[in-house]
Structures are given as structure tokens and as C-alpha cells.
Amino acid sequence: MSFENLNLDERLLEAVDACGFTKPTPIQEQAIPVILEGGDLMGSAQTGTGKTAAFVLPILHQIINREPVNKSIGPRCLVVAPTRELAQQVEKDAVDYSKFIKFTQGSVVGGVSYGPQIQMLKRPVDMLIATPGRLLDHMGQGRIDFSRLEFLVLDEADRMLDMGFIGDIRKIVGAVPEKRQTLLFSATLEGPILRMAQSFLKEPESISLTTNTKNHEQIEQRIHWADNVSHKHDLLKHYVAEEEMSQAVIFTSTKRGADELVNQLNKRGQKAAVLHGDLRQSARKKTMDDMHHGKIKLLVATDIAARGLDFKNISHVINFDLPNTAEDYIHRVGRTGRASATGTAISLVCRKDWDYLVSIERLTGKKLKRDNIEGLEAISKEPKNRSTLGNAGRSWKPSRRGSIKRRRR
């Protein structure tokens, strides 16, 4: 299958070519024809699978090939995304894919000043990309006219539910025309997401690509058992020094943990930058730009901040802490191995992470490979089964103090 088979406008094919894409990804192959036919769609595919082009390209095609329903200046397409990083990534992709057509896009996201957004909303915009809170602020002030809206995209809907945006989404969906094409993307299409899709979409076609994305076949996934945080630091130092690493994202579960880890790494001479939700937008943007330009090798991030991160050169994802949902693990791992590149994901797992490891292995359906680095072996042993865990290791200490001096812990 080639892009030419997808019946997209020539100018979009040129843009795709300029991006260097030679053939559509599986989600693009499946989603583009459905969207071009005008049907609603729910797709279980994550960031990293070419999902953005899968919806932006057919929407652009329809927008340039039909007249708007009226002459108002409001958006013809609204994309709602959970985080500003993801929204900005979608906007950047829309710019890339629309470079040979007459098309305008803009974003309204939190954490930045209102002024430029208010100015942007006074001009005609074809595609508006927004995070829910800021969008509702502008809507509340009567700044957005949805009367000519034809497309609504709910991107990473599962994450929006997790972040408690369901009420906001309902308000947004209630404010846009009933006659529209609605597309919903989510890592999973089960439970509450399915109910959400049923209430917002009309007879949607469902595309599921979870088996591929769940397994991340192109990404080598390993774990190393760790005794405690200090052991994790030693292991991390080793991996950063010994692995063939172009750029790595290192995940921690808390913002404080991320700050502490960056300090530790910098103290050890392994220069790192941090990305989390407490940083000012300008600082986050600078870090993102530095990552894009390869000025940073190690980025320490929390899950929320990492949502939508799309750096082509990430060879490694390291989980300093495991995330507390298996879906987040899959999402983190997908930061490497972008498009069809290969990558490596290494998780440092100690007793407090063990429950999470069990659920990750259950969801992905495979046992992750165990590393054992000579001289840095754990003193403690990984539990054999769930029942041995009990109280998730709070105040746990290694039962046997090792006499191995080389591990300064």
C-alpha cells in the first residue's frame, strides 16, 4: 500500500513526501479511507503509530475540497488533546502537512498568556487545537464561533478521562454542531472510553491496533531488579555510560523525584534536563527545543509532561520508577522506536514497583527480559509470585547486607 492509493489530494501527497514518509503506517492505511468517507471513527492507537497524520491528512483533504457551511471565522475542525505538549505537536504536524495548501491552524492551551490566543481567535482559523480548560475559558468569553464546525477530534481520550476532563469534554461536545464528523483516539477502547464513544459518536467504525502497540515489538524491553533507590542510581549510571545511547527519556513517578534525579545525574557529571508540569511554559519549550536539536542527551520527565513527546532520536526509555498503570508503561516505552525505528526500554524495578511490573506483564502478555549486571547485582530477590509481596515493600530494607564494597550504598 502506498500513499497514492489513499485518494488524497496531490498537494497533501507532496507534503507527505516532503516529510520523508514513504508508505502509510497501519493506522493510516485503515483510518484514512474511513475518515474520507465521512464516517465517525474510534481508533485504539497511541502516539508513535502515525496517528496524527491518520486524522489530519483526511481532514485537510475534505476541508480543501468542500466549501465551509457558512462564512463565519470559527474553526472547521476542533482537536481536543489532554496536554499542551500533545496539542502543540498536533499543531506542528498540521503545519507540516498543510504546507502546500491554503490552510490556517491555531492552538489554545493552558500555561501561556491569553493575548496572542485572543488575537488568533479574531482571525479565521480552519483547525483549532486545544486543551479542555483553556478552550472552555475562551468559549465562556464568547470568543469561539462553532457554527461552521465540521470535524471534532478527541485525541488521547483515555488520558483526558484519567485527568478528570470528562465534564469539560461533555460541555465542549454540547457546544459544537450535532451534524459533524467525530473521531476519537485512545490507547484502549474499553469501559468508560467505550461509553464515552457511544455517547459522542454516531455508528462509529472501530479500528484496533492495540496488539501491535501493546507489544512494541521493535523495542527491546528489559528490567533490572534493584534493592533500593541508591541501587537504582548506580544502575542508571551504568546504563547511561555503557549503552549505545543517542538520547534517552528517564521517567520518574513524581515531579520531586524528577528534580532530585536531575540533580544526582548532574552531580555525577551526566548532564540532564528536566520536564514536568511545575515548570514555566517557556522553560518547557526551551527543553523541548533543546531535545529536538540534540543539545540534551538525558531528559528526566514525569508522565503528564511526556504525553505527546515526539523526538525522533530517542534510543532509550528508562523507567527509574515504574508507572502505576500498565497503559502508562506502554505509552512511555513508545517514546522510543518512533515510526519504525528500533529502541530500548529499561526499567529499574524494586520491591515497591513489583505490583506494577506484574500488571505490565499481564497486559502485554509477555515476561520482560531480566538484566543482571556483573558487580551491580541486587542483593534482594524478585518475588516469585504476587502473594509473597504483601504490603508493597513499605519501609522494606534488604534482608541481607551485602559485603560487596564496590556498590557504595
CB of 161 to ligand AMP, least distance (A): 20
Q: Are 55 and 207 in contact (CB under 8 A)?
A: no
Amino acid occupying residue 149: L
> Rounded distance, CA 232 to CA 227, Å?
8
Whose CA is closest to 81, among 47, 112, 44? 47
Set of cell numbers at residue 1: 500500500
Cα–Cα distance measured from residue 292 to residue 294, given in angstroms and rounded to the nearest whole number: 6
In the list 12, 53, 129, 219, the residue contacting ligand AMP (rule: CB under 6 A) is 53
Distance of closest approach, residue 90 Cβ to ligand AMP, in angstroms: 8
- Residues 77 and 150: their CA atoms lie apart, in Å, by 6
| Contact assessment for residue 149 and residue 77, using Cβ atoms and an 8 Å cutoff | yes
Taking the C-alpha atoms of residue 174 and residue 136, their distance in angstroms, rounded to an integer, is 12
Complex with ligand AMP: residue 50 or 106, whichever CB lies closer: 50
Stretch that binds ligand AMP, among 43-51, 163-171, 208-216, 292-300 (CB under 6 A): 43-51
Query: Closest separation between CB of residue 339 and ligand AMP, Å?
Result: 4
24 lies in the binding site for ligand AMP (CB under 6 A)? yes
Q: Does 49 bind ligand AMP (CB under 6 A)?
A: yes
Q: Of 381, 373, 375, 382, nearest to 409 (Cα)? A: 375
Residue span binding ligand AMP (CB under 6 A) among the ranges 24-32, 103-111, 156-164, 245-253: 24-32
Contacts of 185 (CB under 8 A, 6+ apart): 42, 43, 44, 45, 51, 55, 153, 154, 155, 156, 157
Q: Interacting stretch for ligand AMP, rule CB under 6 A, among 47-55, 70-78, 229-237, 376-384?
A: 47-55
Number of Cβ atoms within 10 Å of the Cβ of 220: 16
Q: Which stretch binds ligand AMP (CB under 6 A): 20-28, 194-202, 229-237, 261-269?
A: 20-28
Query: Looking at beta carbons only, is 97 or 225 nearer to ligand AMP?
Result: 97
| Residue 213 binds ligand AMP, judged by CB under 6 A | no
- Among 31, 40, 43, 52, the residue binding ligand AMP under the rule CB under 6 A is 52
Show the binding pattern over residues 292-311: x = contacts ligand AMP (CB under 6 A), - = does not.
------------------x-
Cα–Cα distance, 42 to 51 (Å, whole number): 12
Which of residues 13 and 112 has its CB atom nearest to ligand AMP in the complex? Answer: 13
Q: How far apart are CA 68 and CA 37, in angstroms?
A: 17
Distance CA 105, CA 94 (A): 7
Q: Cα–Cα distance between 112 and 134 in angstroms, integer?
A: 10
Instruction: Tell me which of 51, 76, 231, 233 binds ligand AMP, using CB under 6 A.
Output: 51
Query: Please, which residue, 94 or 176, has the CB nearer to ligand AMP?
Result: 94
Rounded to a whole number of angstroms, the minimum distance from the CB of residue 137 to ligand AMP is 27
Tell me if 108 sits within 8 A of 80, measured CB to CB: no
- The answer to whether 50 contacts ligand AMP (rule: CB under 6 A) is yes
Residue 121 C-beta: closest distance to ligand AMP, Å: 25
Would you say 25 or 228 has its CB closer to ligand AMP?
Answer: 25
x/- track of binding to ligand AMP for residues 347-386 (CB under 6 A): ----------------------------------------
If the CB atoms of residues 54 and 136 are measured against ligand AMP, the closer one turns out to be 54
**Cβ closer to ligand AMP: 52 or 210?**
52
Per-residue DSSP letters for 183-203? Answer: EEEES--SHHHHHHHHHHSSS
Phi then psi dihedrals of residue 220, to 5 deg: -75, 125
CA angle (221 as vertex; 217, 222 as ends), nearest 5: 155
Binding mask 312-351 for ligand AMP (x = CB under 6 A): x-------------------------xx------------
What gap in Å lies between CA 260 and CA 248, rounded to an integer?
17
Chain residues binding ligand AMP by CB under 6 A are: 21, 24-25, 28, 47-53, 310, 312, 338-339
